[in-house]
Amino acid sequence: MRARLAVMFVVTAVLAVACGPGQDATTPSSTTATQSTTAPQAAPIVFTYSYEPGDHHDYAFALDQNLQMTVETEGDANLLGEGPPEDINVTTSVAGNISYDISEGPEAGTQQISISGVFDDLAIAGTVDGDPVDESMVEEGTVPDLVEVPNLTIVVDEYGNLVSVDGEEVPEDLPFFGDPFSNLGDFTSGGLSGHFGPAFPDEPLAVGDSWSSTESDEIDGLGPAMTVTSSYKVVGTETQGGHEIFVIEFTTETSEVVLDLGEMFQQLFDAFGELGSELGETTDTTVEIPEITFVITVAPSSANGTIWFDQEAGIVAQYAQDTTTSISMLMDLSDAKGVARMAVTMDLGMQLTAELLEGPSA
């Protein structure tokens, strides 16, 4: 029985990680700026951020999410313990404020940004196994909680390149910190897990110019590398509050990732069995260690949006992003009593908008 409960604990934890928010812990491994072949509307300029120690920025945001999730099971359901809902179709709308508190960075040319948030408005609609959903179901954990109030500290340079997250340096050769879900966190949080602005190239840009960055990392023993390509283009200007605002459109494409976690979990369950033996517990079938296959597939994902950048103030004035991603999970369990299979598919779409309320250009 202990082994079966352990199986459900691990599955629940992994599902929460795959669905839950994470930090934006990536740094460009290559960046290329392409000059426009059309005549620019103004002289090219170098885009930089003007975060100053003591500054405080408040953004109002709204995040709409739609989750469609299905769970199919076969075989001996007792092996899976208490099963999850079989069909979820839920739309949540969250609104609130995101705050940036700026302080001096650890090195010259860097600034530290403490990011916090308040979510003060929640609306939820949809069904779980055909029953109407309500807010209490989120509080009880019946519906996956896909949004978490951000609480992290990042360090960036003047171009917006990420230097560290919560005191951990961002290494060039390991942009995902060895965590295959860290980039997914930005998808599932809709863009709230870092500062809104992009990393700019250190060369002048004009209207019509574009640049791109590519990030890649391979997690040892867990399959091929994840590659993320982000492309940006300065498409025009607007005037807001007497400031010239540059309009930047972007797209982000993430490659498919297949994570075969069966061997890792098998070793974990074996360790549970060995620990039980050391403690003198019986090794009969009540604590039998099952055989397990566990594969998570993250389909190619995409995001696109628009950034309104106030170059004079050196800060993002508005931000909008649409994100789509799909995740599937396949788990097979078997022991002397039977075999069970669980297949989970999740499709997640999000729309985020944010606007500066308080700051240099607000």
Give the tens place of pLDDT for each residue, 135-189. 776 666 666 655 667 788 989 999 998 888 877 765 443 333 333 334 444 444 4
Q: How confident is the model at residue 24 (pLDDT cuts 50, 70, 90)?
A: very low
Residue 43: predicted pLDDT? 83
Alpha helices in the chain (DSSP H): 2-19, 135-139, 182-188, 262-278
DSSP code at position 285: G
Residue 186: predicted pLDDT? 43
CA distances from 105 to 102, 113, 164, 262 (A): 9, 9, 10, 42
Question: Which of 211, 215, 214 has the alpha carbon at shortest distance from 248?
Answer: 211
Q: How confident is the model at residue 356 (pLDDT cuts 50, 70, 90)?
A: very high
Neighbour-count burial for 220-231, b at 16+ CB within 10 Å, e otherwise: eebbeebbbebb
Residue 185: predicted pLDDT? 42
Domain containing 135 equals 2-358
Question: How is residue 190 written in tokens?
Answer: 């809709």
In total, how many domains does the chain have?
1
Q: What is the pLDDT of residues 40-99, one digit of tens each?
A: 456 899 999 999 999 999 999 998 989 899 988 887 766 666 666 789 898 988 888 999
Give the separation between CA 49 and CA 312, rounded to whole angstroms.
9
Residue 285: predicted pLDDT? 45
Residue 33: predicted pLDDT? 60
Question: Out of 2-6, 121-125, 178-182, 269-273, which region has the weakest mean confidence (pLDDT)?
Answer: 2-6
- Arithmetic mean of pLDDT, 93-117: 91
- Predicted TM-score (pTM) of the model is 0.74
